Amino acid sequence: MCINYKPSSREEILALMDLGEVVPMDWPEEVWQDYAAPIIRSDRRGTNELLVATYGMVPKSHLPPAAKRFTTMNARAETIGQKPSYAKAWRQGQTCLIPTACFYEPNYESGKAERWAIGSADDAPFCVAGLWRQWEEEEGGQAFSFTQITINADTDPLMRRFHKPDDEKRSLVVVPREDYSAWLNCRDPELARSLLRLYPAGQLKAWHAPRGGHQSVQGSLL
């Protein structure tokens, strides 16, 4: 699962697709659970819209006081239509794109967990498939949250190198640019499911990226 990533910058997002007039907004350089981050959705008019939303489909602020905290940063493609946290958004076609510079996963090939970054082989920003939902705030107004969709990656030559050796290998679903419109405007769950697939081998790369440390280009994986 992915619990930490670097969102694209405002300039990178505007270069990815036509979003018309965008209201000024800010987000942190790296995102963790309950952080604010940019997402793109298609509004009721079919116009692409940039929003800032909370990372995790059910934010901590919306959990009942006595509820056990759980994570909803990642939705498994295989069960997305059955899980209570995601099923309604999935049925209603609340798809979104999550603009991403890179995401981080643990690599154990040295014998201990080391943080590595995964990004486009050509260093270009990309978008991850996600779902969004809307919340009514107690003080009035509306807020948004999102989850990233993951898929099995046991056979992927790059993504199978992450997480503990005996763990199932997973990958975020990276959406090819030619599928952006199809994903954002898909309202048929079965059609949407057909778009959830591994990114082509060789189009992602990875490199050692310790927190607050030097990022090793020499140690990259292709």
| DSSP assignment string, 106-139 | EE-TTSS-EEEEEEETT---EEEEEEEEEEE-TT
> Residue 138 has what pLDDT?
77
pLDDT at 15 over 60: yes
pLDDT at 69 over 90: no
Sign for the CA dihedral angle at 98, 100, 106, 109 comes to: positive
Residue 30's domain comprises 5-221
SS3 161: helix
pLDDT > 90 fraction of the chain, expressed in percent and rounded? 79
User: What CATH number does the domain containing 40 carry?
Assistant: 3.90.1680.10
Higher pLDDT, 33 or 1: 33
> Residue 216 has what pLDDT?
45
pLDDT band per the 50, 70, 90 thresholds, residue 213: low
Q: How many domains does the chain have?
A: 1
pLDDT at 11 over 80: yes
Query: What is the pTM assigned to this prediction?
Result: 0.93
- Each residue's pLDDT tens digit, 132-159: 999 988 777 899 999 999 999 999 999 9
> Residue 217 has what pLDDT?
40
